[in-house]
Structure 1
Amino acid sequence: MARILVVEDEKDLSRLIADWLKRDHHLVEQVYDGKSALEQMTGTSFDVVVLDWMLPEMQGIEVCRRYRQKGGNAAIIMLTARQSLDDKAEGFESGADDYLTKPFQLKELAMRVKALLRRSSSEHHTKLSIRNIELDIENHRVLKDGKEVHLLPKEFRLLEFLLRHPQRVFSADEILDSVWEMDSNAHHDTVRGHVTRLRKKLDSDGEPSVIVTVHGVGYKLGTEDA
């Protein structure tokens, strides 16, 4: 599972790209203009950014250039209808890692994302933790005080999702969209039930809960002083 940002101002295309990438169990976020993209890219850690060249507010190539100047190291795939060799050279010189010409097949985009993830150094960050709990992504294991805790697949994905976003509060709808994706049978009670089970399996007596309910908003990862 990787964290991917899709930057595409054509919202129907953006949705199609996001839905396709979620099939590979990636966490996908979407923005629709260059200014928002740069803010999101510099404020959040992504593994891959799918970046359209032609964007409102700021061109994708300028977003890419400024992001690299700020030290950003996410892999970037540039999407564009421009096909000339000079345009491709400009895209790579701005800091893009790959270049895909529109129109394209979603399957090809997914293959290129996989290839970039194999090359990316972020692929090696396979363990996430909070307090006495460690989630081992590569081996699909969760340890509490060094002892393995059995989690169901969606419990594992929910915990991983929250661990990857330690400061954010997510509504039930946002969690459903990211963790359950296109499962039409999942609903708010599904999220609530999984949160309850994770608490029973992972919480320690006298300690704040691993998952905190923010009333009227949603859920977030618990901290030491939560």
Structure 2
Amino acid sequence: MRILIVEDEPLLLEQLNSSLTKQGYAVDCAADGEEGLFQGTEYPYDLAIIDLGLPKIDGLDVIKKLREQGKNYPILILTARDQWQEKVIGLDSGADDYLTKPFEMDELLARVKALLRRSVGMASASQHFGPLSLDLNAQSVAVDGTEIELTAYEYKVIEYLLTHPHQVISKTVLTEHIYDQDYDRDSNVIEVFVRRLRKKLDPNGTIEPIETLRGRGYRINPAIANG
């Protein structure tokens, strides 16, 4: 999952970047509203964290413009403004949730996880797909109850596929959502990850969890996609 942070306080921006990266997210950062609006418009994100008091373009205007341009990923507001009216205005502008500064990082991470779950239609952190089970909190995948050892990027690939179980996901889209913008991306590496995942999740070839649609991409086998 790829997250955009728009925050003008350097220390907080670094803390957010570090905490989210440690949780396995691909993270892009912007220090003002103008850059945040550009990145939020130009790149595909699964969630954005936006401070309201930004230089160049106010956070509320960034949110409004993103929504006007059809960007529908969840947005979490960070604000030092503790009046309830400000929070209502932020939510009315298109945000999905807010946190008032100062806040505990654990609470922010919990809200991020909840927003991401809701955005893909998951009511809880755990979901079953036939013999496969995904636990977003533990960042783990199990087959028939046995957890499978995966590398960080193998997990990111299968997580994205499982959280979009009825969609055909191209290699380009997978690449964009598992790497941040500074990473030297090679979409051909996705083929390697998928090949490894098939061997680890289905060594006997009985589940066939990931289908390849030639020229289009990958999807979770419809036979297990509905759980």
Q: Give matches, 1:61-210, under 5 Å.
A: 61-121=60-120, 153-154=151-152, 156=154, 163-165=174-176, 174=183, 198=192
Cα distance in 1 for partners of 2:80, 2:90 equals 12
Preserved contact between residue 50 and residue 77 of structure 1 (Cα < 8 Å): yes
Alpha-carbon distance change, 30 to 137 in structure 1, aligned in 2, over 3 angstroms: farther
* Per-residue CA distance 1:35-55 (angstroms, 9 max, x = gap): 111111111111110000011
The total of aligned residue pairs comes to 163
* Per-residue CA distance 1:78-104 (angstroms, 9 max, x = gap): 101101111111111111100110011
Match of 2:219 in 1: none
Preserved contact between residue 44 and residue 176 of structure 2 (Cα < 8 Å): no
Q: Which runs of 5+ in 2 are unaligned?
A: 123-131, 135-139, 143-147, 159-170, 197-214, 216-227
Deviation at 1:158, TM superposition (A): 8.1
Q: Amino acid of the residue matched to residue 61 of structure 2?
A: E
* Per-residue CA distance 1:146-205 (angstroms, 9 max, x = gap): xxxx99514526878973329x9976xx46xx9xxxxxxxxxxxxxxxx7xx49x68xxx
Q: Which structure is richer in relative contact order (CA contacts within 8 A, separation 6 or more)?
A: 2
Alpha-carbon distance change, 36 to 122 in structure 1, aligned in 2, over 3 angstroms: farther
Identity of aligned residues (%): 35
Task: Give the alignment's TM-score, normalised by structure 2.
Answer: 0.59
Preserved contact between residue 78 and residue 98 of structure 1 (Cα < 8 Å): yes
Q: Amino acid of the residue matched to residue 46 of structure 2?
A: D
Q: Amino acid of the residue matched to residue 7 of structure 1?
A: V
Q: CA RMSD in A?
A: 3.8
Q: Amino acid of the residue matched to residue 85 of structure 1?
A: W
Q: Which runs of 5+ in 1 are unaligned?
A: 124-135, 142-149, 179-194, 203-223
